[in-house]
Structure 1
Amino acid sequence: MTQPQPRTLLQHLLETTPGLNCTTWPRFQVLWGRMAAEAATGLGNPKLAQVRASRSSYVRWLSGTHVTKGDTAVILEWYFGKSAAELARPVPRRDIVQPGPLDQSTLTAATRTLDYTWATSRYVPGEPHTGVIGAWELSGGRHFDGTAIGLQVYEAVPDGDQVALKEADLPHLRSYVRSSRRGVVLASLGAAGGSGLYLMDAAHARHQLTAGQAPRVPVAYRLDDLTFALARALYVLDDGLLADDLPLADRAEELGYYVKTGTSAPPRSDMPELSPVGAAWLGSSLCAQYITRRLDELPAVPVFWTREATGEECAPWLLFRHKHEYLQAVASRFAGAGSPLGRAFCVPEPAVRGTEPHERILLLLTVAMMEMHRITVWITSDPAYAQTEGFVLAQDRAILANWVREESVWRVATTSAVADVAPYREAIAHVQAHSIVDGPTPAARLQALARYLELDWTWLTGRCRALSGSGITGMLRHRSRHLSLTALDQTLRFLGTL
């Protein structure tokens, strides 16, 4: 059986270029007159407008059996932006694996969920017939830039406490997850009469396929305020750190110098190559190392003040690896020291009203992480303390360490001067006396915080319990060595047991 003649680039462009739809000789005759006239004007050569093309030439051009020269070549090359030789070559062949069709309810759910539930989320559907994958655009917030990741939606069927992708979609899924770009899979029960979208990082789908398993997504991974908050925080921080991997590595030695220095506050302009996420990681890392290095010098068990007031500002606590190591170091250093550890926040009402529920969930999870490390949390809503810098206070000594909402990348200093320490002592006394989350147990304090943040405590703890049961590391995957999901998984488990 003879193979069909491959289409030339010229034929492909004539048939697919918007506005041309030139598939026959009569149509090409009309188009040629326009092409010749436009080339004559564009090239300043009036003679080109009089050049004619014969039907036999047209047939040979389309078949690729003849590469035209002279004025006809000039006209074709000017109009299409390709050489006559390129136009005569076969169109590059691409083997496109088509995904299965999506139920209308699935298309509606994907658009409504990703476009109209969260202000920072937007769904850009792909073009299946061309092999173009869709994208999930996560716009930036007040402090960090956004990102965009590949996204593919598949129909699924219920399978106990999981949803299973259909066998017919596995060839396309294999093609999709082979790409080294970051991507996510959304499984939908729309065609099966169900509802909801279930999220999994494409890397986990690839792992299941490699192990010879048809990918299944736990129902606990349903996309809602909790899972969206975690996914967005991870992808934004991860992509920001990957973009800055080289400049951050280059500054490692410099960071060690500043840790040993008594006082430092390098301006942001000194590090213009860093993204907001990279600068946040550098500032946070320096502050954590600066404090840890000086813990043994403190005369008593310290109390801590944290400047973060929104979920976006708190996201590094949940995901930066050095944050978890710092918390563990502090908890271990002062375990059994007599006085309990405490950490203060200032979260004014405008910070609550000005953020969406998914972002407020990140704030609550951060406080839960502190409580999990046996650190009692106090919170004031008094806006007078909103700009108080992060510090550590132990009797007459204060360690200033702040990177949040700083004009510099970080600002660190140590002081025992009475006048300098007095404002920090007063701030701690205020928050201890007027904490809006006062309670005898972590559960009581976290429930009070949930009420203040207008979050459904019963729903949230139930979702944390379900999510920790399946493991957050089975839903999301980070690429940067500076991130970790382990402490977040532990926090979800801790909150789910309260």
Structure 2
Amino acid sequence: MSDDEVPPSATLLAEEIKRRRNDAKLSQPQLAQRIGYTRQYVSLAERPGHNLPSLEVVKAMDEALDARGELVALRERARVEQQRRRRRSGSIEAVKVPGSSQSVLDFAGVSSSGFADTVLTCGAGRFFLGASIDVKAFPADIDERVISRVPPGFADDPFVRRPRRGLVVGVVESNEGPALYGLDSRQARRRLAGTSPGTKLLMSRAYLIDDLSMAILWSVANLDEALLDDDAALAEASAHLAIFEQLPKSVGGRDLASDLAPVSRMWLGSNFCAQHILRHAHSLSEAPVFWTREQRGEEASTWLFFAHKFDYLRRTATNQAGLRRTFCVPNTAVTGSSRPERVLLLLAVALMESFDIRVDVVVDPEYGSLDGFVADRRRAVVANWMGADGIWQVDITDHRPKLREFHDASNHARAHSMARGATAHERLRELTEYLQLDWTWLTRRCAELGEYGGAGLAEPRSRLLSLEGLERACRFVGSIAGRND
């Protein structure tokens, strides 16, 4: 939904929430505390250009601000207006995209000479608050290239000139249904800059909208939006953490970042834990074993997109040979995740294997609550940001019972990993089968995306994000494409 298409009731809802909050003399953090959500939820609810806030959030605000149902009624009016606008534009949500298990978009309203506007909804998760990407769709032709028939002068269209994220989609009709190809709006502007008004938009076949591209768009949109919104607050919070850096043991309580969105707290905690491990890795005298707590693609996507995690992985792999890392991924985590989310988990493991870090995957749920650690026989560096009681929990220990617990778990993982192949290729294939993914499709699509890079599809706006991890993982998986059995 572009800025000039915001339903009037959505604008009224955002304004009314802000007016009532101000009348109650409450700041955004204070209202957030009253309703049991983070400040980010309140901030987004007061923006008319963003997705409508969920009914649960609006109900909580309605009660906290004594609106007596008025906010709930405004939200319902805005929802009805939004649906009417989408029907008039010929775009409908919740229709399956060919090649994807996700119900995403339908561009049946795009005629041979026309186009449609819609919104790609990147839903909420356990940490992601949910984001949306405005979409402009145009008819397209395909041979070895995809040529989208954008209207004359599209290079100057506000859609591609504004700073916020957008997606230009080329729609190729076929007997099997439409195939959709995406291009980041910023990339579209660059490709059209300086061209004549009638120039068509060249797109890559690598950016087919399917489960791989949806995984990337879902992650980048949610991570980017939260980190950009919290950029100043994150910088301030980070500056206050110096007092903890020299402590061998510390706990970062939620009060350090109470106003931050869950994604921003993830970034703060994972960054602190990574630096803690790097500061103390010298105390480990031999190749250590690593244990990580990520079980699903949502949290594992941080390996692919957080710039500091890619740097941490590269530095730890450079300093030691023969490293091993264990993931605990119970079957419930597999069956409870969408296919794009499972793709993200597979790529995070592939990234580590690309650094010659052997990855073991245990499926026993009883190991799911084990601390994250790096340990040799004499000492362990403990670092939790996933599932921590706060933002992080770190420690350095030589306590024998704790070391025994860590080494027993690592030995079990080594003996009972469901990915036990002798090569990275074999281990990744075994993991792909466990995650119920198509190995041939995955290697082929990763080869394509690794060749063209991810920026054409989902270029990050936040300085804290990078595509280096994603692209390295895709190239590593894609290098196997020509060797499928």
TM class by shorter chain equals 0.7 to 0.9
Specify which of 307, 328, 334 is matched with residue 314 of structure 2: 328
Specify which of 354, 359, 381 is matched with residue 372 of structure 1: 354
Structure 1 residue 110: Cα displacement? 8.5
Write the mapping of 1:356-367 to structure 2, written as runs, cut at 5 A: 356-367=338-349
Residues 237 and 257, structure 2, Cα contact 8 Å, conserved in 1: no
Specify which of 372, 375, 386 is matched with residue 404 of structure 1: 386
Instruction: Determine whether 1:417 maps to 2:399.
Output: yes
Instruction: Determine whether 1:168 maps to 2:154.
Output: no
> What SS does the aligned partner of 2:375 have?
strand
Tell me the residue number matched to 1:469.
451
Write the mapping of 1:178-193 to structure 2, written as runs, cut at 5 A: 178-190=161-173
Across the two proteins, how many residue pairs are aligned to each other? 387
Specify which of 418, 422, 429 is matched with residue 411 of structure 2: 429
> What SS does the aligned partner of 2:360 have?
strand
Which structure 1 residue ranges, 5 or more long, are not aligned? 1-16, 19-100
Specify which of 456, 462, 477 is matched with residue 438 of structure 2: 456
Change (3 A) 1:215 1:492: same
Structure 1 residue 325: Cα displacement? 0.4
Structure 1 residue 108: Cα displacement? 7.0
Tell me the residue number matched to 1:241.
227
Instruction: Determine whether 1:147 maps to 2:123.
Output: no
Specify which of 371, 382, 386 is matched with residue 364 of structure 2: 382
Residues 150 and 183, structure 1, Cα contact 8 Å, conserved in 2: yes
Residues 360 and 420, structure 2, Cα contact 8 Å, conserved in 1: yes
Which structure 2 residue ranges, 5 or more long, are not aligned? 1-7, 10-87, 110-114, 481-485
> What SS does the aligned partner of 1:419 have?
helix
Specify which of 375, 396, 399 is matched with residue 393 of structure 1: 375
Change (3 A) 1:188 1:256: same
TM-score, normalised to structure 2, is 0.75
Deviations 1:463-496 (A, max 9, x none): 1111112222222200111110122112111110
- C-alpha RMSD of matched pairs (Å): 2.8
Deviations 1:399-421 (A, max 9, x none): 11011122210110000011222
> What SS does the aligned partner of 2:97 have?
helix
Change (3 A) 1:125 1:133: farther
Specify which of 456, 478, 481 is matched with residue 496 of structure 1: 478
Distance in 1, Cα, partners of 2:291 & 2:236: 31
Residues 155 and 189, structure 1, Cα contact 8 Å, conserved in 2: yes
Residues 147 and 200, structure 2, Cα contact 8 Å, conserved in 1: yes
Change (3 A) 1:132 1:474: closer
Distance in 1, Cα, partners of 2:125 & 2:106: 17
Tell me the residue number matched to 2:467.
485
Q: Which moved more, 1:207-216 or 1:453-462?
A: 207-216
> What SS does the aligned partner of 1:265 have?
strand
Distance in 2, Cα, partners of 1:194 & 1:308: 37
Distance in 2, Cα, partners of 1:403 & 1:211: 47
TM-score, normalised to structure 1, is 0.73
Instruction: Determine whether 1:287 maps to 2:273.
Output: yes
Task: Output the amino acid matched with 1:481.
Answer: R
Residues 174 and 209, structure 1, Cα contact 8 Å, conserved in 2: no
Structure 1 residue 253: Cα displacement? 2.3
Write the mapping of 1:179-218 to structure 2, written as runs, cut at 5 A: 179-190=162-173, 195-212=178-195, 214-218=200-204
Structure 1 residue 211: Cα displacement? 4.2
Distance in 2, Cα, partners of 1:168 & 1:262: 60
Structure 1 residue 194: Cα displacement? 6.7
Structure 1 residue 351: Cα displacement? 0.6
Distance in 1, Cα, partners of 2:313 & 2:248: 22
Structure 1 residue 210: Cα displacement? 1.1
Identity across matched positions, percent: 36
Residues 156 and 192, structure 1, Cα contact 8 Å, conserved in 2: no
> What SS does the aligned partner of 2:431 have?
helix
Instruction: Determine whether 1:313 maps to 2:299.
Output: yes
Task: Output the amino acid matched with 2:350.
Answer: A
